[in-house]
């Protein structure tokens, strides 16, 4: 993507052109550079599958950006915005949709306010499980919104619990209508969770929304997987739709064993008078202690 001049005379980073970054101003009023804009993402629909993750730490976000991830989702808690802000800072050039809590907005007006709070923090979009009415209000306010369809965990009581959705004709039609309703409400994308791959592929062809697949196989425009699954941060069992490319959990266990061993050896050395050794202490200059004792003795 080309870089664009800005009214404030800002100049993109030196490598912006080489990395294909675009100069942007966020809805919160901050200038920056991004790998994608909403338009840029939508221009990719039907051309190639994008890759998306949700990091849980600044280190994971920085690594994902360095590796070349296309987009990220970031959990956003308006009561504790610092973690999301730190992740935004760690990956400043990657398009990010802040995932806002379902129960944090109880009206369209609150939805807009929550969206604005996320955008002020540097979000490029918000991701939500809101009703179309709330999404319509946010979109009308200029906030790019990604909705949620298929298995929506917090609403799973309506679909029979935490299970695959869309394996019957009625459910398949319901998912399709849900996505079309989000489209009419003004969303730019939708996360579609744990549905048949073939169904998602057909729906993706019939909506202008970018479909982000998690547990929907290769049927979406975006392939989404949590960073904790990619990195293997947790022990088994793993979600069926996930793949572990590393085993950070094993590494963390090994690190913990090393921590325990280090503390144990330190305790033993102190108890057995092996630490501190000569090389760890400062020796008093010659005559210092005798002069000190003489001085102390005279003054006591």
Task: Determine contact, residues 190/149, Cβ cutoff 8 Å.
Answer: yes
Q: Work out whether the CA dihedral 138, 139, 140, 143 comes out positive or negative.
A: positive
Q: Which of 136, 178, 193, 228 is catalytic?
A: 193
Angstrom distance (rounded) from CA 155 to CA 265? 51
Annotation says 60 is catalytic: no
Buried b (16+ CB within 10 A) or exposed e, 118-131: bbebbbbbbbbbbb
In 3D space, the residue among 81, 74, 92 whose CA is nearest the CA of residue 146 turns out to be 74
The H or E element that residue 73 is part of is strand 71-75
Task: Determine contact, residues 138/132, Cβ cutoff 8 Å.
Answer: no
Angstrom distance (rounded) from CA 213 to CA 280? 57
Give CA angle at 127 (121, 133), nearest 5°. 110
Q: Which residues are catalytic?
A: 193
């Amino acid at each position: 993507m080309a870089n664009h001049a800005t009214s404030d005379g800002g100049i993109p980073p030196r490598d912006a052109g080489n990395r294909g970054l675009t100069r942007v101003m966020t809805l919160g009023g901050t200038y920056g550079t991004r790998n994608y804009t909403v338009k840029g993402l939508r221009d990719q629909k039907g051309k190639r599958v994008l890759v998306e993750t949700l990091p849980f730490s600044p280190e994971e976000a920085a690594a994902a950006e360095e590796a070349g991830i296309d987009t990220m989702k970031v959990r956003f808690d308006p009561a504790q915005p610092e973690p999301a802000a730190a992740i935004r800072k760690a990956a400043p050039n990657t398009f990010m949709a802040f995932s806002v809590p379902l129960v944090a907005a109880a009206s369209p007006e609150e939805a807009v306010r929550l969206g604005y709070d996320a955008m002020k923090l540097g979000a490029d979009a918000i991701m939500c499980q809101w009703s179309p009415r709330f999404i319509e209000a946010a979109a009308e306010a200029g906030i790019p919104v990604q909705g949620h369809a298929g298995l929506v965990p917090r609403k799973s009581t309506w679909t029979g619990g935490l299970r695959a959705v869309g394996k019957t004709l009625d459910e398949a039609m319901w998912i399709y209508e849900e996505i079309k309703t989000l489209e009419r409400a003004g969303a730019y994308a939708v996360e579609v969770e744990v549905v048949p791959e073939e169904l998602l592929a057909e729906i993706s062809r019939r909506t202008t929304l970018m479909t982000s697949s998690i547990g929907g196989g290769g049927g979406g425009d975006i392939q989404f997987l949590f960073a904790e699954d990619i990195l293997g941060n947790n022990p088994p069992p793993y979600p069926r739709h996930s793949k572990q490319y590393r085993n950070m959990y094993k590494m963390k266990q090994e690190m913990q064993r090393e921590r325990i061993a280090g503390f144990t050896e330190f305790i033993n050395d102190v108890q057995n008078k092996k630490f501190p050794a000569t090389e760890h202490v400062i020796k008093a200059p010659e005559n210092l202690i005798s002069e000190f004792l003489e001085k102390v003795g005279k003054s006591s």
